[in-house]
A and B are shown apart, each in its own frame.
Chain A
Amino acid sequence: MIYLTRRTTFSASHYYWNPAWSEQQNAQVFGRCANRNGHGHNYTLEVTLAGEPDPVTGFVVNLTWLKDVMEREVLAAWDHRHLNLEAPEFAAAMPTTENMAIAAWKRLEPAITAAGGAQLSRVRVYETPEIFAEFRGEA
C-alpha cells in the first residue's frame, strides 16, 4: 500500500464560545480563544489517500485532481471565512481543530470514494505549525 499526502493552506477566523455557559466559564475554559470578536489562523490541511499505483501511470491518484477536490470541497467553504458564522457545520459545533479535521473528512470522503480506487486514509489540520489534529475515519 502507498500513502499519498497532499498539503494545502487556508486562512480563516473563529472563536470558541459555548452559549450554554456563562461568560466566566467560557473565559476559563477557552481563554483568549473566547474573545467574541474572533481571531484567525493560517491553517494547513493534509489529506492522505491509500492505494496502489496504477500500473500504467504510476499514480495512486492524480495530485492535481486531489488538489481540485480539496479546493472545491473544503477551501471554497472555509478559506478566508469566519468559521462560526459562515461554515454550516460550525453553526452549532465548536470550530476546534479536532472538529475541523472531522468536518474536512466528511466533506472530502464522498468525492474520493465516488472516484473509486484510492481510499481516504487520514485528514490532518494544523492550526499553527505547533498544533494539529488528525482524523482517520474511525467511529
Chain B
Amino acid sequence: MRAYFDRRYTISASHRLHTDALSADENRATYGKCNNPHGHGHNYVLEVLVAGAVDAETGMVVNMAALDDVVRRCVVDRFDHANLNLDPLFVNRVPTTENLCRVVFTLLKDALPAGKLERVRVEETENNFFECDSE
C-alpha cells in the first residue's frame, strides 16, 4: 500500500535571470525586472513529496529526521542565503524556478533511497509555484 509524505522547507536566495545567449535588449524583454544586474531574492518554499509503503515496524513512509538531514545537506545548506547564479549548477543554466525545481529534484533523487522521491514543488512567491516529477 503506497502512501505519501510531504515535507516543507524554506530557503532564501538571490538570483538574476540573464543568459549570454541573448542580447542585453532581449534579456530585458524576456526577463523584465528579473534581469536587474544586481539580482534580487525570494523566500522559496520547497516541498518534498516522498512515496512508498508504510514500514510495518515504524509506521512511516520515510523517517522524517533522515529526510530532513538529506534535504538540509543536499539543498538547504547549498542554496539558503546564497546567490544561485554563483552555484556551479547554474553556471550554464539560468536560475529560473523551473530549473531550480529540476536541480533540486535531481539532487534529492540521487541522495534518497531509490524510488522514494515522488515530486519536488518550489514556490517562488505566493502567486507562482513549480513542480517537477522527473529529471
Contact = CB atoms under 8 A, between A and B. Distances in A.
Q: Find the residue from A2, A6, A60, A64 having the highest chain B CB count within 10 A.
A: A2
A138 B31 CA distance: 34
B17 A5 contact: no
A6 B126 CA distance: 9
A3 interface: yes
A1 B21 CA distance: 23
Interface size class of B (residues with CB under 8 A): 20 to 34
Contact of B93 (A6, A7, A58, A59): A58
Interface of A: 1-8, 48, 53, 56-60, 62-64
Given A7-B129, A57-B19, A60-B130, 15 more contacts: A2-B132, A4-B129, A5-B129, A6-B128, A8-B127, A53-B99, A56-B19, A57-B30, A57-B31, A58-B17, A58-B19, A58-B93, A58-B96, A60-B98, A62-B30
30 contacts: A1-B133, A2-B98, A2-B131, A2-B132, A3-B130, A3-B133, A4-B98, A4-B129, A5-B128, A5-B130, A5-B131, A6-B127, A7-B126, A7-B128, A7-B129, A8-B127, A48-B131, A56-B19, A56-B21, A56-B22, A57-B19, A57-B22, A57-B30, A57-B96, A58-B93, A58-B95, A58-B99, A59-B30, A59-B98, A63-B128
A49 to B, nearest CB: 10
Nearest to B131: A3
B98 A1 contact: no
Given A2-B102, A7-B126, A64-B32, A58 B131 contact: no
Contact of B102 (A6, A48, A53, A57): A53
Nearest to B97: A4
Contacts of B96: 53, 57-59
A58 B94 contact: yes
Interface in B79-135: 93-96, 98-99, 101-102, 126-134
A2 B130 contact: yes
Interface in B17-35: 17, 19, 21-22, 30-32
Nearest to A66: B128
